[in-house]
Structure 1
């Protein structure tokens, strides 16, 4: 599909208004008339050299200005495969995705995950057979991701949400509700073991692994930033593993647009600044575990009916 010049003009006007510069100032700085600038904003074709000057002046990348450069992935399979490809070459990975990061999760988590993802597909879901087949593909990709990480060991910065961790401990690793009491108990135990695993990771202080527990609000949609030899790519995804998994609905995106990277890095920097780290983070997780164990043990067992006789 060709470029939509009217849409380019609308984006140009929006960025001009946001810049705080007048039309006269912008026109003068890039060597065109104000009338020409207004024509561009109405959708007339501009030379690529002029658009490049406007892009630099307004501090917006050419891909964003032109409406190209964003990669859309409407399938969990394509998103996780794309993630695998990026991880395969990344020197550093910054992760903000759910209560836990899959790459740092335990091997036991991966084993339990397949059943949970299958459970997350409703019986009346459209194209249910296709989605269940996707689970096989997703698990294969996830396994390859984990093996690649173990082999390459890129640096990882993982931000965990305290709110999501508490929900994870309360609800357990589940794909649907309700579950039988015995199954729910097992899923609660898996969640506890996983948070225990992350507390241990923090205490081990392994080289190349930095984990922060964020007690402030974090974006609902997860994102990851991949750095490779100065090149940076960000993926933003509604697809989730773990607590309340989602492999069916949503559109993930990937881009290398500088302003998208910068805006999300600002989120990471601010979250990391206030996050619990090191001993404080491990202590926080272990206190949560003790609290949930105490609450569970305090729940009275179901009363048994007396036998007749």
Structure 2
């Protein structure tokens, strides 16, 4: 574990991105249609009715079948997205956490390797106990006076469903994952607990802190056990303000950046995420990842660092 390049051979491969096939482009357009449809709260039948297309056509398009240009325009207009975004030309800009997490699920379903810089911990590596706390943290993160608060609960059900599907897919496929974890954010995570807002007290606050403790103990367990395909680096240096992930499937690489977050002061309502396969973006994020990895604690150093952090909060 002394060098990222020793363990992850794909980082040593060429950074040149091959143009994806037309079939892959069409397939991904169908995936994007589905994600944005779900975020709008529309069923395939409703999309068909509002666009004048057949229900079977909508199902075919979402499954990756060829899409007529006129049909694509009608769907894009209904969903309020550009044709460029549907085909992944340039960058996808996503203002809905529901759409973003569904797109993450799609990318993770095909990825061979995933690099994660996500504070304080990667959701894919959390325990099932974390899932049981997640709804409370996400629900309380939205003020009751916030616009459309009354509609948030139904959307939250969909977000939870997608998040759990992401974790199930990861556990079945087991792509390689490199997770960079901030030591400072682990300290904050243990001090505050799994919360979506300030002001929790008493037994509830103690419960949330204990839940955070369980997650950090799980990180320590993974550092000790070294499960196949999982590499964790503890970063002492400061981290970028926005989280990002790099997904690699064969020679195709895509970067997803996000202001949405889970766990500590969760946010699934306000922000903009981007997904891009642009070579310059991939290369720059790759350079950041490699620099942070080289300077992170790994192996016994990481184990000792996490033990010291835990000791200060027990």
With the shorter chain as reference, the TM-score category is 0.7 to 0.9
1:16-165 to 2 correspondences below 5 Å: 68-165=89-186
State whether residues 117 and 175 of structure 1, in contact with CA within 8 Å, keep that contact through their aligned partners in structure 2. Answer: yes
Moved more, 185-194 or 67-76: 67-76
Number of residues paired by the alignment? 228
Matches within 5 A, 1:1-309: 68-293=89-314
SS in 2 for 1:129: helix
Q: Say if 2:137 and 2:265, in contact at 8 Å, map to a contact too.
A: no
Q: For 2:242 and 2:155, how far apart are their aligned partners in 1?
A: 21
Unpaired stretches in structure 2, ≥5 consecutive residues = 1-83
TM-score normalized by structure 1? Answer: 0.72
Structure number with larger C-alpha Rg: 1
TM-score, normalised via structure 2 length:
0.71
The CA deviation string for residues 236-266 of structure 1, in whole angstroms up to 9 with x for no partner, is 0000001011101111000000000000000
Partner secondary structure for residue 284 of structure 1: helix
Q: Which moved more, 1:169-178 or 1:71-80?
A: 169-178
Tell me by how many angstroms 1:68 deviates: 4.8
Q: What per-residue deviation string (whole Å, max 9, x for no partner) do you get for residues 69-104 of structure 1? A: 110110000000000000000000000111100101
Cα-Cα RMSD: 1.3
Distance 2:217 2:122 in 1: 14
Q: SS at 1:216's partner residue? A: coil
Aligned-partner Cα distance in 2 for 1:273–1:190: 30
CA shift for structure 1 position 116:
1.1
Structure 1 equivalent of residue 52 of structure 2: none
Q: Is the 8 A contact 2:183 2:235 kept in 1?
A: yes
Q: Secondary structure of the equivalent of 1:292? A: coil
Which contiguous aligned blocks of 4+ residues in structure 1 show a shift greater than 4 angstroms?
none
Q: Distance in 2 between matches of 1:172 and 1:180?
A: 11
Assess if the C-alpha contact under 8 Å between 1:121 and 1:132 holds in 2: no
Q: Which moved more, 1:276-285 or 1:223-232?
A: 276-285
CA contact (8 A) 1:202 1:278 kept: yes
The equivalent of 1:56 in structure 2 is none
SS at match of 1:126: coil
Residue equivalent to 1:307: none
| In 2, Cα distance between equivalents of 1:132 and 1:259 | 39
Structure 1 gaps of 5+ residues are 1-62, 294-309
SS at 1:275 equivalent: coil
